[in-house]
Structure 1
Amino acid sequence: MTLKEAGEAYLRHCRLERHLSLNTLAAYRQDVAELVGHFGPADVGGVTGQALVAYAAHLSTARGLAPATVKRRLACARGLFRWLARTAKIAADPFDGTEIRVRIPDRLPRCLTTDEMARLARETGGVSALTRLATLLMFATGMRVGELVSVRLGDIDLDRGDIRIVGKGDRQRQVVIPGEQLTGMIRDYIRDRHAAGRATDHLFRTDDGRSLSTAAVRVRLRRLAQAAGLKRTVTPHMLRHTAATELLEAGVDIRFVQRLLGHRSILTTQIYTHVSDRALRVAIRGADVFGRLDRSDGGRVCPTR
C-alpha cells in the first residue's frame, strides 16, 4: 500500500468511524497531502522513524512552518501510522521509540477588554439582528463559530434557557442562555427571520434561506468591530477567549467553564487563568497602594537604601 492510498483510507476512517467535523477533516487532508508530497510514492512500510525526524526538520526549516502547524502535521502523521499498525497494515509504528520535539512558544489567548466587548454589544448603527445576535451568542456561551452556524432550531430550548451544541468529534454539550434579555432576542429573531418558511432549519441563515457560513460570520464581526471603533481585527475565537476570561474573572468555577467550552481536559481551560492572573497583576500595580501611603504623609513606606 502506498502512502497516498493509506492516507485516503485513514481520512475515510476519520470521517466514517471517528465522525470528525468537516473543519478537522479539511485540516487532516492538508496534513496528509503534505506527508505524501514529502515522501512521494513510498510504500507505507518503508517509512522509518529516522525519516520522520527528517520530515519534522523539513517542515520547520525548508517549509518554514509555524511550530503549531508543524506539531499538527506530525500529530496527523502519528495518528495515521498508529492506525496502520493497529489494523495490521504495517508491521510496526515508526513513531514508536522515535522522539520528535516541537516547542511551541507560550502565548496567551487574545481577548477583548471589557470596554471593547461593551462597545461591540452596544453598537447599533447599521447592524443587522443576525450580526448582533450571533456576536452576543458567541460571547455569552463561548461556542466556536463552526458550532454557532450549526445550531438548528430544534437544538434551542427557550423555556429551559439552553442550547444543545455539537462540538469537536461530535461531542454534545449544553450551553446556558444567560438571562431573559438574550432569550428574548433569540425568540424575536426566530419569529421574524423564520416567519416566511424555512428553507433550512439552521438558526442563522442568509436572506435566500441557506445556512450561514463561518466565513460570513467572520466578515460580519469584522465590520461590526470597525463600526464600533475598535482598532484591531476581531475574530470569532477572540469572543470565545473573552467569554472564558470574563467568567473566570467573575469567579465562576473553572470546571464549569471547561464544560461550557467543551474542553476534554481542564488543562486546556487553565490557560485562561493565566490571562486572569495577568489582569490581576495590572490592576494591583495600577492601584499603587504603597504609593498612596507614601503620598498621605510625605514619607516612604518602603524606603530605598
Structure 2
Amino acid sequence: MNKEIQQFLTYKKNYHNVSLRTIKAYQSDLTTLQEHCCEHKVDLTQGILELMEQLHQNAQLKPTSLKRKMITYRMFYKFLVTKKQIEPDIEFEHYRASYIIPKKMPRTLKIREINQLLNYMYQRLSDSRTSLYQKRNCIRDIALLELLISTGIRISEASSINLSDYDQIENSLLIYGKNRKERMIYLSSTETRQALLTYLAIREQFHPSDQSFFLNKYGERLSIYGIENIFAKYIDLANIDTHATPHYLRHTFATELLNNGANIREVQELLGHSSIVTTQIYTEVSIERKKYVLNSFNYRNELDVKTSK
C-alpha cells in the first residue's frame, strides 16, 4: 500500500494546492491505516471501518479529528477506484459515520489589538536602534501582515503568491485557494498597497531564488510555518495577551465585513468559500450587526409601554 499512498500524496500536492501540513496529516492518517491493514490482514475498506470504529470506541480522538481521518480515507479510496487499483465497494460507499462535532465560534482579534500590532511594527521600523537587517525583515513582515489583515486570505494563499499574481496598475492579486480555485482580490487599503510597494523595492536584498512574492532569509518562498512564526513574534513583541494564530485575522476580516453591512454572499466570494454554509458561521460572532438589527427592527422598541426614560 505504500506505493499507492505516495501516488495519492503526489496527486494531492500537484493538483489540489494543499499545504505541506495537510500533506503530512494525510500521510500520518494513511500510514496508520496501512499498519492496521497489515497487522490484521484485512483489505482497505474493511481496515478503514475497523480502524475508525476502534478510534471512536476508545475515545482517543476528538470528533473533528475522526471526521478528518474519515474524509482522508474516503479520498484515498476514491483515488484508488478511479485509478482502477481496487474494485468499488458499494457497502463501504453507503456507510455513513456520525461524529457529533461541538459548534465553535470563530475566534477574532479586537480592532484595538490589530491597531496595537501594526503600531508596534511601524514603530520598530522607524526606530533608530533597529538594525538594517531587522529593518529589511520588518518591511517584509509589515507587507505580509497588512495583506492578511486587509484581505482575509489564508496563510497558504499568501505563501503561494508569485510576483506575476500582483497587478500594480489594477491594485489586485490573483489568489489560488483550495483545490487550485482562483479568485481575484482588490487591494482597497492605501496602507496595504504602500506596504507591498515598499517591500518590492527592497525584495532583491533577500537574494531571490525564484518568483515567489514573499521570501525567507534564504531567498526562497516563505512557508506557512514562517508566516506563523512571524505573526507569533510580533504578537509577543506587541504585548498582545492572546494565543492568536494568523487565521484569527481571517476571522476578524470576515466578521468586520458583516459588522459593517456587507452581504454574506459578498463575504463568501471574498473569502473563497465553496459553500455559503462555511461563511454563515461568521454571522454568529457579528455582534455589531446584531445590535443594528435589534435596535432597528425589534418591535418591542416601538411599543407604547415604556419603563425607561
Could you say which TM-score interval applies, normalised by the shorter chain? 0.7 to 0.9
Aligned pair partner of 1:105 in 99, 102, 106: 102
How far apart are residue 240 of structure 1 and its match? 1.0
Structure 1 residue 114 and structure 2 residue 114: aligned? no
CA contact (8 A) 2:15 2:180 kept: no
Instruction: Please identify, of 63-72 and 188-197, the stretch whose mean Cα deviation from structure 2 is larger.
Output: 188-197
Instruction: Read off the aligned partner of 2:86 and give its amino acid letter.
Output: I
Distance 2:72 2:189 in 1: 41
Structure 1 residue 96 and structure 2 residue 93: aligned? yes
Over aligned residues, Cα RMSD in angstroms?
3.1
CA contact (8 A) 2:117 2:235 kept: yes
Matched position secondary structure for 1:40: helix
Unpaired runs of 5+ residues, structure 2, are 126-137, 295-305
Distance 1:215 1:20 in 2: 14
How far apart are residue 160 of structure 1 and its match? 0.3
Distance 2:206 2:67 in 1: 48
CA contact (8 A) 1:21 1:170 kept: no
Matches within 5 A, 1:44-193: 45=43, 47-48=45-46, 52-62=48-58, 64-93=60-89, 94-123=91-120, 124-126=122-124, 128-193=138-203
Distance 2:249 2:41 in 1: 45
CA contact (8 A) 1:44 1:90 kept: no
Change over 3 Å in CA distance of 1:167–1:284 after alignment to 2? closer
Distance 1:83 1:232 in 2: 41
Unpaired runs of 5+ residues, structure 1, are 286-298
| TM-score, normalised via structure 1 length | 0.82
Structure 1 residue 262 and structure 2 residue 262: aligned? no
How far apart are residue 87 of structure 1 and its match? 3.9
| TM-score, normalised via structure 2 length | 0.81
Instruction: Please identify, of 128-137 and 104-113, the stretch whose mean Cα deviation from structure 2 is larger.
Output: 128-137
Aligned pair partner of 1:206 in 209, 216, 228: 216
Identity %: 28
How far apart are residue 281 of structure 1 and its match? 5.3
Matched position secondary structure for 2:183: strand
State how many pairs are aligned.
Answer: 288
